[in-house]
Chain A
Amino acid sequence: QLQLQESGPGLVKPSETLPLTCTVSGGSISSTSHYWAWIRQSPGKGLEWIGSIYYSGTTYYNPSLKSRLTISVDTSKDQFSLKLSSVTAADTAVYHCASQLYSPNSYIDVWGKGTTVTVSS
């Protein structure tokens, strides 16, 4: 079945850019049924949808993060990625990649286990 695995640095310095990658297995990232999402979870803000991407490259961003956010897809590697610039301590969270069915406005049918990111000097 579909599985997602996040990878990236566990520690990022303030003002730098956070890069994360999600590898999709057990299915194709070029599926026409799925959108691929990033969601983060922190004690202060709870669960927060960051943004989503379709295999074609069309992106959908949370307005509160849009100015700092880039999500991209590499269909040849079955991967999609997140870059969040100018990070602060408020960006410290567990970052999950996930899949959504049929729409970027949809429920999450499969979650990655998540990767903990700490923003600190």
Chain B
Amino acid sequence: EIVLTQSPGTLSLSPGERATLSCRASQSISSSFLAWYQQNFGQAPRLLIYATSNRATGIPDRFSGSGSGTDFTLTISRLEPEDFAVYYCQQYDLSPTFGQGTKVEIK
């Protein structure tokens, strides 16, 4: 099983600031099979990014993904009020597993 570790656990930022979220895998993820999701309280997760850097349909371009091997990053270039939420990474190189999440909160 591939274990995903996300950091930081909580990110306190102001609207308009840049957010950088990290996801580290316990072993190399081939073919960049990594996705990112956003979850607001009481709602289901929503797909943001798949295959490391591809935005899902309707996702604004302030969201971008990068990385390879064991280290992956989700960047939100300028935080909007609706971006304050919990973010999860997921690998699908092997049986799917998820990171424990990073909460982006308003500073």
Residues in chain A within 8 A of chain B (CB atoms) = 46-49, 60, 62-63, 96, 103, 105-109, 111-114
When A107-B50, A107-B90, A113-B43 are in contact, do A49 and B96 touch as well, CB less than 8 Å? yes
Query: Total number of A-B contacts with CB less than 8 angstroms?
Result: 47
Residue B72 CB within 8 A of the other chain: no
B35 to chain A, nearest CB (A): 4
The answer, among A60, A107, A113, for a CB contact under 8 Å with B35, is A107
B40-58 interface bits toward A, Cβ cutoff 8 Å, 1 = contact, 0 = none: 0001111100100000100
Give the dominant DSSP class at B's interface: loop
Cβ–Cβ contact B47 & A108, under 8 A? yes
- Residues on B with C-beta less than 8 A from A109 are 47, 50, 56
Cβ–Cβ contact B45 & A108, under 8 A? yes
- Residues on A with C-beta less than 8 A from B43 are 113
Cβ–Cβ contact B92 & A107, under 8 A? yes
CB-CB nearest in chain B for A105: B92
